[in-house]
Amino acid sequence: MQDKLTLMIPGPTPVPETVLKALGRHPIGHRSAEFQSIVERTTKQLQWLHQTTNDVLTITGSGTAAMEAGIINTLSRGDKVICGDNGKFGERWVKVAKAYGLEVQVLKAKWGQPLNTNDFRQLLETDTNKEIKAVILTHSETSTGVINDLETISKHVLNHGHAITIADCVTSIGACNIPMNDWGIDVIASGSQKGYMMPPGLSFIAMSKRAWKFNEISNLPKFYLDLKPYKKTSDKNSNPYTPAVNLYFALEAALTMMQTEGLQSIFARHARHREAVHAGMKAIGLQIFSEEGYGSPAITAISPQNIDAEQLRKEVKEKFDILLAGGQDHLKGKVFRIGHLGFVNDRDVLTAVAAIEATLGDLGINNVKTGAGVAATAEILQKR
Amino acid sequence: MQDKLTLMIPGPTPVPETVLKALGRHPIGHRSAEFQSIVERTTKQLQWLHQTTNDVLTITGSGTAAMEAGIINTLSRGDKVICGDNGKFGERWVKVAKAYGLEVQVLKAKWGQPLNTNDFRQLLETDTNKEIKAVILTHSETSTGVINDLETISKHVLNHGHAITIADCVTSIGACNIPMNDWGIDVIASGSQKGYMMPPGLSFIAMSKRAWKFNEISNLPKFYLDLKPYKKTSDKNSNPYTPAVNLYFALEAALTMMQTEGLQSIFARHARHREAVHAGMKAIGLQIFSEEGYGSPAITAISPQNIDAEQLRKEVKEKFDILLAGGQDHLKGKVFRIGHLGFVNDRDVLTAVAAIEATLGDLGINNVKTGAGVAATAEILQKR
């Protein structure tokens, strides 16, 4: 039905009316005092979200722009780095690092498995010459619904004493606890169409003091993504180039809503929704793709048996106007993914499970009585 | 007065309600068939605007991102290039080229003067070893209100036979005639908050077949701004990374309005507004900063005597809620600029002139009778 779509993908995620209304305002001058005050407020709000006193800079661009900025602003040609790779976005880190001539050691895990923190510990402990400059990894691997143990890995990096941690928190920030200061993470990249409850187009890069120290000697060529001018203008509540002014309006509205809800409530909601989706899918007889205990609070990948995941996804879209995400690359047709990230309430989660089991029932390939998924989901959701 | 601002700056420019409404729609999935059809339509519309059959790619980012993409996707380290520089955006080209290790020969003109086309001809004609790889210039120099003679310079480049032309058409596209195919321009960069009548956040890069040939051997490091993945996905009406979906909604709405108005009418409107602003300012006794005959159809810089341009700008904003642009860098306080780019009608132009002369009168530094500017402006506007 026209205009009735519900997004249950890992981005773009649903956007509140309050945020859309802010987005649709007439633009103002990006060098005006009014806009400067928006930059000032959103910068503080972003620091709140990152639980940090570090700089958090806003770049007009996709999340990939922030990921690349994290690498090219801290490292130099030939630098040795470790990249964690257990999915499509881990792979992307490797590609970015190689595009700039870094010496990349890849620590892989099978898609669906978390990165092995001991592999990182071992490499870092045996690096007695302190050649490793950075450990680069994805926190919530969107392609597989796996959450990696960023806290433990960043501890190993801190013990190493010389390397920095660069983390893609694109689908984890605003979904689960990432205390940047407490965990000692140096670089965090994220994008607006995720936990931020707003449309795509802005990306964010948080830089620790150590990351800025690395920046001083970084020699990789850059211009638009050179963070020095962003830092310099951010200190005056401004931007080096014309930013996406209307997306800033939306950013302020969204972060204000998030502050009203509170960080702990936001994290609890995402954890409850992960649990509710997992329970519902298992009750329907479907298998969770991510290893037990490593499900992302932002997204769940499910590997259905006896049916092409793309067909199921198509039917759910056509029958119920719910957009689920498909599998990426070799997982296409093998998994579908339910996004429960950002502006998602209990109704959305219950509805998605209900629609999936109703569709499976209609296709005649459901082994359990329709309703079992909803019952299991509802039980979890009651535990507020 | 709150919510009553009129933007007369060179970007962000005013945005039609139709475009803002499109912007404020709920986002949809960027891998959906519905979004693909938007990409397909806007790509064709962009080709219409560029008067070309070449690829026109959309990047989520500021105009500077597209400018950089133009350089790093066609050139290689050590390549010899000529950069035209007669203002802040000419300077930016030089900075980008140098950041990537190109050998840059700068052809300067004084701020307010156009680039000397003969300088370009001479350098290109004497380059018998064909060492020059590219001529890089700004078409409409936003900082000074000067339009450079892109047509003639690109002819000289074509006569050279080996170099390509890379043009910043950020404030000229959608304001005056730029037939990319007819003029044989190889790369055109632009940004959404200008002639496109929409908010900032998207940038556009048009690439000729020759530019793609250069791309094959270009060795500058890049990832987010690497145009190969944009081309590959654009051919399937998609994007390599999550694009600013809502800005795409706005883009389609704005380009549809532009197609309804028609290219020739749009160009005629901008030319008339330039003439009307010039006539009005001269009648008030103010001096146009750009050399006679080289005024940009997008923006006029004015150098007032006996008053600080920033003070005048502030008064006009406070009294009449019209935002004019200030002078950049060493022109701060010395010039103010009237943007007449994009969604600007005769009323806006008449109002701006009226507000400026009323303000000058009020400040007691107007040498002519208040009303002379409006009379001169109205006379030009009548010539529809």
Q: Does A98 touch chain B (CB under 8 A)?
A: no
Q: pLDDT tier at B366 (50, 70, 90 boundaries)?
A: low
Written as one string, the DSSP assignment of A340-376 is: --SS--HHHHHHHHHHHHHHHHHTT---S-TTHHHHH
Q: In this structure, what CATH number is given to the domain that contains residue B227?
A: 3.40.640.10
Q: Does A220 touch chain B (CB under 8 A)?
A: yes
Considering the domain architecture, whether residues A315 and A254 belong to the same structural domain is answered as no
Which pLDDT score is estimated for B317?
Answer: 97
Q: Judge: B21–A24 Cβ closer than 8 Å, yes or no.
A: yes
User: How far apart (Å, rounded) are the C-alpha atoms in residues A345 and B207?
Assistant: 45
Q: Judge: B193–A220 Cβ closer than 8 Å, yes or no.
A: no
User: How far apart (Å, rounded) are the C-alpha atoms in residues A113 and A295?
Assistant: 10
Considering the domain architecture, whether residues A81 and A158 belong to the same structural domain is answered as yes
Q: How many domains does one find in chain A?
A: 2
Whether A25 is covered by a domain: the verdict is: yes
Which pLDDT score is estimated for A366?
Answer: 65
Whether A210 is covered by a domain: the verdict is: yes
> In whole angstroms, what separates CA B230 from the centre of its chain?
22
Domain boundary residue among A260, A286, A314?
A: A260
| Shortest Cα–Cα distance, B368 to chain A (Å) | 31
Cβ neighbours of A225 in B, within 8 Å = 224
Contact A82, A107 (CB under 8 A): yes
Considering the domain architecture, whether residues A31 and A159 belong to the same structural domain is answered as yes
Q: Judge: B60–A200 Cβ closer than 8 Å, yes or no.
A: yes
Contact B261, B349 (CB under 8 A): no
User: How far apart (Å, rounded) are the C-alpha atoms in residues B202 and A371?
Assistant: 45
| Residue B307 burial (CB count, 10 A) | 17
User: How far apart (Å, rounded) are the C-alpha atoms in residues A216 and A36?
Assistant: 27
Whether B245 is covered by a domain: the verdict is: yes
Q: In this structure, what CATH number is given to the domain that contains residue B320?
A: 3.90.1150.10
Which pLDDT score is estimated for A226?
Answer: 98
Considering the domain architecture, whether residues B281 and B295 belong to the same structural domain is answered as yes
3-class DSSP assignment, residue A156: helix
Give me the mean pLDDT over the A175-200 stretch. Answer: 98
**Mean model confidence pLDDT for chain A:** 97
Nearest partner of B58 among B238, B298, B266, judged by Cα? B238
| Strand partners for B132 | B80
Interface test with A, best of B4, B18, B26 (most A CBs within 10 A): B26
Give me the mean pLDDT over the B219-248 stretch. Answer: 98
Question: DSSP assignment, residue B14?
Answer: P
Chain B's closest residue to A20, CA to CA, is B24
Give me the mean pLDDT over the B4-9 stretch. Answer: 96
Interface test with A, best of B224, B233, B338, B343 (most A CBs within 10 A): B224
Q: Does B327 touch chain A (CB under 8 A)?
A: no
Instruction: Describe chain B by its helix, strand, coil percentages, rounded to 5.
Output: 45, 20, 40
User: How far apart (Å, rounded) are the C-alpha atoms in residues B106 and B127?
Assistant: 15
| Shortest Cα–Cα distance, B226 to chain A (Å) | 10
B291-304 pLDDT, tens digit each: 999 999 999 999 99
User: How far apart (Å, rounded) are the C-alpha atoms in residues B334 and B303?
Assistant: 6
User: How far apart (Å, rounded) are the C-alpha atoms in residues A219 and A205?
Assistant: 19
Contact A212, A218 (CB under 8 A): no
Residue B187 falls in which region: left (phi positive, over 0), alpha (psi -120 to 50) or beta: beta
CB half-sphere exposure, B119, CA atoms < 13 A: 16
Whether A12 is covered by a domain: the verdict is: no
* Domain hosting residue B290, numbered range: 262-382
- Which amino acid would we find at residue B125? E
Q: pLDDT tier at B367 (50, 70, 90 boundaries)?
A: confident
| Shortest Cα–Cα distance, A241 to chain B (Å) | 6
pTM over 0.80? The answer is yes
Give me the mean pLDDT over the A235-240 stretch. Answer: 97
Considering the domain architecture, whether residues B306 and B219 belong to the same structural domain is answered as no
Considering the domain architecture, whether residues A91 and A142 belong to the same structural domain is answered as yes
User: How far apart (Å, rounded) are the C-alpha atoms in residues A84 and A147?
Assistant: 12
ipTM of the complex in this document: 0.97
Contact B316, B356 (CB under 8 A): yes
Give me the mean pLDDT over the A277-290 stretch. Answer: 96
**Mean model confidence pLDDT for chain B:** 97
Considering the domain architecture, whether residues A181 and A308 belong to the same structural domain is answered as no
Nearest partner of A109 among A101, A96, A120, A100, judged by Cα? A120
Which pLDDT score is estimated for A369?
Answer: 80
User: How far apart (Å, rounded) are the C-alpha atoms in residues A230 and A241?
Assistant: 9
Which pLDDT score is estimated for A384?
Answer: 76
Q: Are strands A80-85 and A140-141 parallel, antiparallel or unpaired?
A: unpaired
User: How far apart (Å, rounded) are the C-alpha atoms in residues B14 and B349?
Assistant: 13
Whether B101 is covered by a domain: the verdict is: yes
Tokens of B88: 């802040």
A295-326 pLDDT, tens digit each: 999 999 999 988 999 999 999 999 999 999 99
Helix (H) or strand (E) holding B181: helix B180-183
User: How far apart (Å, rounded) are the C-alpha atoms in residues B13 and B340?
Assistant: 9
Which among B14, B193, B245 has CB closest to A200? B245
Q: Does B68 touch chain A (CB under 8 A)?
A: yes
Considering the domain architecture, whether residues B73 and B197 belong to the same structural domain is answered as yes
Which among B65, B220, B244 has CB closest to A200? B244
Whether A1 is covered by a domain: the verdict is: no
| Shortest Cα–Cα distance, B123 to chain A (Å) | 27
Q: pLDDT tier at A365 (50, 70, 90 boundaries)?
A: confident
Tokens of B102: 């190109």
Domain boundary residue among A260, A283, A300?
A: A260
Judge whether residue A337 has pLDDT over 80: yes
Contact A144, A290 (CB under 8 A): yes
Which pLDDT score is estimated for A367?
Answer: 73
Q: Judge: B199–A245 Cβ closer than 8 Å, yes or no.
A: yes
Whether A9 is covered by a domain: the verdict is: no
Domain boundary residue among A230, A260, A290?
A: A260
Considering the domain architecture, whether residues A207 and A337 belong to the same structural domain is answered as no
Cβ neighbours of A326 in B, within 8 Å = 31
Which pLDDT score is estimated for B269?
Answer: 98
Contact A343, A15 (CB under 8 A): yes
Size of chain B, expressed as the number of residues it contains = 384
Considering the domain architecture, whether residues B233 and B353 belong to the same structural domain is answered as no
| Residue A122 burial (CB count, 10 A) | 13
Considering the domain architecture, whether residues B161 and B60 belong to the same structural domain is answered as yes
Considering the domain architecture, whether residues B222 and B269 belong to the same structural domain is answered as no
Whether A10 is covered by a domain: the verdict is: no
Q: Judge: A61–B11 Cβ closer than 8 Å, yes or no.
A: no
Q: Does B26 touch chain A (CB under 8 A)?
A: yes
Helix (H) or strand (E) holding B57: strand B55-60
Total CB pairs under 8 A between chain A and B:
170
Judge whether residue A159 has pLDDT over 80: yes
Give the CA distances from residue B355 to residues A33, A294, B132, B339, in Å, rounded to whole numbers and listed in that order: 21, 63, 48, 14
Residue A168 falls in which region: left (phi positive, over 0), alpha (psi -120 to 50) or beta: beta
Size of chain A, expressed as the number of residues it contains = 384
| Cα Rg of chain A, angstroms | 21
